[in-house]
Structure 1
């Protein structure tokens, strides 16, 4: 929930600083975030491979809370960029560690699938609850107060991690004499060489294109193009989260009947089709925009939720942390392409040009993933 409030408040802060060019600032912010993720995540994972999980997660939350506390006082672009760099460095520590510990706790495949669904559901509830709460708060307080909700969210996360029973540090095998550089590149090598994991690299592109449209241009469409109020932005993001949550709830049952491949590729195709249809009118009426964002939520959730199953079926236990970190890093590397397209191209050439470029990338990612992914079940 803290992250959801942060997303909405950052969009409104960017609009405060730059007005109709808010997409450019958001693109810069998100590009900095992705650079940190791409560079820091594999290195941090290699350093922390044999550390205890709890202090790593709690420490990352405390750093994020401290940075969020400074955000209401930011009035210049460069200050925002520095704060985001530090905050996202902590996130690059938290997320891969969190993702890699789940299969260690739940070795059973069915339980792990349910856990992935619940993890996604928690994220989707944030997408819905945070905008609703933000919309209510924005009727009585300034948007800068939303950052205080972000601080509370990260502190609550740290408290919950402390109360959880998590596995201790993994013992380092006597045969593991690899250095930091080898461990940093280990997961990336596995992602590139394994057929299923290599297909995920194209799925990452199919995810990054529509996600950039949502994260960068939602505020531009709602506030600048349609001329609607701040709460309208919160509602359209909530509708996107609703679509994603519906899929997360259904997937544990669906994946007992259908293999991961058609689910993920179907989600990619849906998202690509929505972006292509948006070319007719990149700033449609609010009702049509809501339907489009709902469909994008469905497609993105269908792509992202089962990814953990693919990784666990394709990597050994000792490699899980490295592969999750590599997936985290390489998936976010796609945003180094899509976020600038969404923000900078949109600002310079217009929303339709940005939408067209993102639609092309979504189609390429979907097509290449379908061509690359072997037609075998994930459990094989």
Structure 2
């Protein structure tokens, strides 16, 4: 897997992703402490609102950013967005009102909504060999999982010496380092074949996405994967603290189980994707994750669950989640010409976060009004239709070429 790091451009891009993720992880922890400092017992409401604003920014801004991405030099665009994120981060220590948080979070996440799809669309232009690109996708997944494990530890160490608002300066430095790594290499910026109007460019990515059968299948599986992760992200703290009556550190252990399962899948995927079709691997991952969450419902209803047992169940769900979503970049690349990639990656970014926008509050509401076992059961029922729809609409004989539907839209 690490052989792909011999490519200097990709090595710098991965470094940019890692330092930006580390900065984002520090900001997440600092933001929670800032919310508590300003709102006290209402901090959860503030953070919930901030999370909703984040998802709205992702859903609304990504297609608009993609419309301009095809007209801009990609390296300059990524650097400008990194600097915008750094500027917002260094403003956060000076916040004195809750509404300041909301405004700055919207600006920060709007910049991320422009940066992330354009960044993701650049990788297949740098790594044109599909096996190398598959390894890059797995490394990217590992970077996300390691960030979720290491950022809390780094933040805890820093907080021994500095106040929480100093973490935002670390976030700003992370984004500046990301910008420097991006500017240090030459990036391909494919040009569109003809000029299009702003409406056409804004909606083109989603139209291309929905005209491609394999991508409609990907959207269905994204619903399933989002259901799995929403259950873990929203409800783990309640399960550990209330049901298991354990400490805050136990929450980190349970979440580490989910991250560990995801990392295990990332290591296994390059070899699995060499032997099996993407459709087979991704559907198997979604089915496995759905069965794991269903098994969790049965076990919670039947017996007391220990922390180790919970971490193992969460690891199984994490494995299914990662196996379902990590290969998605291969599908997007296979289904697009290089000039359309930012738009189609933005479409996946928008549609996937629309799923989370629905599922985050849904799973929280179900958990609040029912038991843990019932919530897991309901989330199993909500996840299953995504698998069934994908089985029906994603053709078994999946060609590697750009689809005819997409060619007709050129």
Structure-2 separation of matches of 1:178 and 1:243: 44
TM-score (norm 2): 0.82
Structure-2 separation of matches of 1:351 and 1:247: 26
Matched residue, 1:281? 300
Q: CA RMSD in A?
A: 2.8
Structure-2 separation of matches of 1:159 and 1:259: 38
Structure-2 separation of matches of 1:226 and 1:145: 34
Matched residue, 2:10? none
The yes-or-no answer on 1:164 pairing with 2:182 is no
The yes-or-no answer on 1:365 pairing with 2:383 is no
C-alpha distance after superposition, 1:278-304 (max 9, x if no partner): 334399432222222222221111111
Q: Which one is further off, 214-223 or 247-256? A: 214-223
The yes-or-no answer on 1:215 pairing with 2:233 is yes
The yes-or-no answer on 1:261 pairing with 2:261 is no
Secondary structure at 2:397 match in 1: coil
Where do residues 59-138 of structure 1 align in structure 2 (5 Å cutoff)?
A: 59-72=80-93, 77-137=98-158
Structure-2 separation of matches of 1:353 and 1:25: 27
Structure-1 separation of matches of 2:131 and 2:236: 36
Secondary structure at 2:360 match in 1: helix
* Structure 1 residue runs without a partner (length 5+): none
How far apart are residue 156 of structure 1 and its match? Answer: 2.0
Matched residue, 2:255? 237
How far apart are residue 262 of structure 1 and its match? Answer: 1.7
How far apart are residue 20 of structure 1 and its match? Answer: 9.4
Q: Which one is further off, 348-357 or 201-210? A: 348-357
Secondary structure at 1:155 match in 2: helix
Matched residue, 2:318? 297
TM-score (norm 1): 0.87
Structure-2 separation of matches of 1:204 and 1:218: 21
Matched residue, 2:407? none
Structure-2 separation of matches of 1:221 and 1:141: 31
Contact 2:218 2:390 in 1 (8 A): yes
Contact 2:61 2:110 in 1 (8 A): yes
C-alpha distance after superposition, 1:216-242 (max 9, x if no partner): 223333445545444444443333222
> Which among 315, 325, 343 is matched to residue 364 of structure 2?
343
Larger Rg: 2
Bigger RCO (CA 8 Å, 6+ sep): 1
The 3 A distance-change label for structure 1 pair 91 and 365 is same
Structure-1 separation of matches of 2:353 and 2:113: 11
The 3 A distance-change label for structure 1 pair 177 and 53 is closer
Q: Which one is further off, 184-193 or 117-126? A: 117-126
* Structure 2 residue runs without a partner (length 5+): 1-21, 402-410
Structure-1 separation of matches of 2:214 and 2:121: 18
The 3 A distance-change label for structure 1 pair 166 and 65 is same
Matched residue, 1:181? 199
How far apart are residue 118 of structure 1 and its match? Answer: 2.1
Secondary structure at 1:315 match in 2: coil
Contact 1:208 1:334 in 2 (8 A): yes
How far apart are residue 257 of structure 1 and its match? Answer: 0.8
Contact 1:117 1:251 in 2 (8 A): yes
Secondary structure at 2:400 match in 1: coil
